[in-house]
Structure 1
Amino acid sequence: MTFPGSPLFDCQSDCTIDVICGPLTKWFDRLHLQNALQDWEIARQFLHRYDDSPATFRQYRGELQCFLNYLWCLGKRSLSNVDNEVIKRYYKFIKNPPASWTSSTIYRAFIDAECGRKPNPQWRPFYQPGKSGRYRASQSRLNAARTTLTAFFRYLNALDYVAKDPMVDLSRRDKRAKTVAREESEPTYRRFTDAQWQCLFQTLERAANESPRYERHLFVLVTMKCLFLRVSELAPRQIDTEEDRIPQFSDFRKQDIDGETCWVYNILGKGDKHRAVTLPDAYLPYLERWRRHLGKDA
């Protein structure tokens, strides 16, 4: 069985059929499915809403390309005819897709051509690395599908493009990955033991005592470990206002909690939401040390 589908959206969501070039329009013609091109256009408009969120755009684009290929090529339906049963069958499909829908290499969806851009014939909706057997969907993969389709059908329902949101009545069983042996379904994550962390801290602290060049390394490691931060919560990053948010010493403040005064680190975290992390007493000497290294009052 050959793969009957095609990549649908380039890396830029504001692409149009004319920009993408003729091969995709010819593929739509071969589908012989009414409203498929209209479905594509409304999906493109949905993706356009996430141009300013690259990670969300990439996830939504990947999931919609997979879902629409299934819907048109195998389900032989348009979006207006999607119901709860279609979604259930789609979840069964992505848990165990045909080999022709998978690839052992990740290929770009679109490649350069004389007329502009064209669909890459080597692209596939599912990635199975190496020769590690048949593709098996992880729980994170199913969660990504749920998140994408929930947002997408809410959008379609708000526009009255679909009569009813088919994601509402989806059961938990449909959204769960198959239970398999742990070594097949869950990756193994290597983590430091307490003894290894202690050895790392001691080695880095000794290096910082011998050379100031390691002071920054020591401060970053201790801060990330003691305060359980994401990298983006300690490093400069761009926020929704397209301004650079740079962490400062003023983010460390005294705060009254339950009648007691303590030090906290105020964070602009995931989703540009504020939260405060209480500083452990054992962390304060490292903060003071870093300030002294920078020539500031402890």
Structure 2
Amino acid sequence: MRVLPEAEWRARERAHAERMRAWTRPHQERRARGEKHPVLDFLFTYYSHRPAHLERWQPGIDVVLAGAARHFLDRPGFREVDGGVALDRGALTPARARTARFVLDLLTATAARSPRLSCFGLHEWAMVYRLPPERVRHAQLPLRLGTAGTDRVVESLDIRCGHYDAFRFFTAPARPRNALRPSRETQRDLEQPGCLHANMDLYKWAYKLDPFLPAELVGDCFALAVEIRELDMRASPYDLGELGYPPVRIETAEGRAEYARAQAEFTRRAAPLRERLIARCRDLLAPEDGDHAENN
């Protein structure tokens, strides 16, 4: 058990909360005004981790918080130990252990594959294919190329989306155009490290293991998901110019090359986060093996 002096853990607690509030506070202010943000709301609606929980700091397992840490005892899983307060490994219920096993298996399989960088964000286009304007998800936004132009892009490019949680939102006419048939059952077999949504989902897998992961790791996954979401929507058929998001014009060869370069960079940045999550899951599931992951 590593002991964190009070000054150290309090500094980390403050730093994490301040970092996350750069996103949580604007979201809460928009919500209070009844405003929607087609890019950033996704991080708080599709992903179900509450802003207050995202701001909340925790050290992860095998860490003793020295000093005045009794407020942690109000949270499930924390208990008093010699020298302070710590998260009890015994709080990992069988259901949470199954989640950790699923995450470990999925991320290990994903990490073992070569990235594929040729999807060009067409999943967003397939979600509006042949829809009347009033049924488009972000109906408040114009389509850059109009309805007919958007449909022509879908019909002119190959769609090869292997991420089930994107594919399930395809319109009925778009589904047969996808070269793959992802399902929840085939998720482990199809997810690959170049997929923007698989890399955004690192945040989901991190918060599903809360409070057993350090808050900084959850925060790192969230911060990357924010950036990936911006590319995801910039490459979409929507016109986000008034919100300050220049388009990535994947309907052109230059735009597809720009998208692939950005996708490759996110693939590179997601890899160490995926490895940190894998290490944490292994540590949770096999504590008797010793060598716990470094607390970061």
TM-score range, shorter chain: under 0.3
The structure in which a higher percent of residues are strand is 1
TM-score (norm 2): 0.25
TM-score (norm 1): 0.25
- Greater length-normalized contact order (CA 8 Å, ≥ 6 residues apart): 2
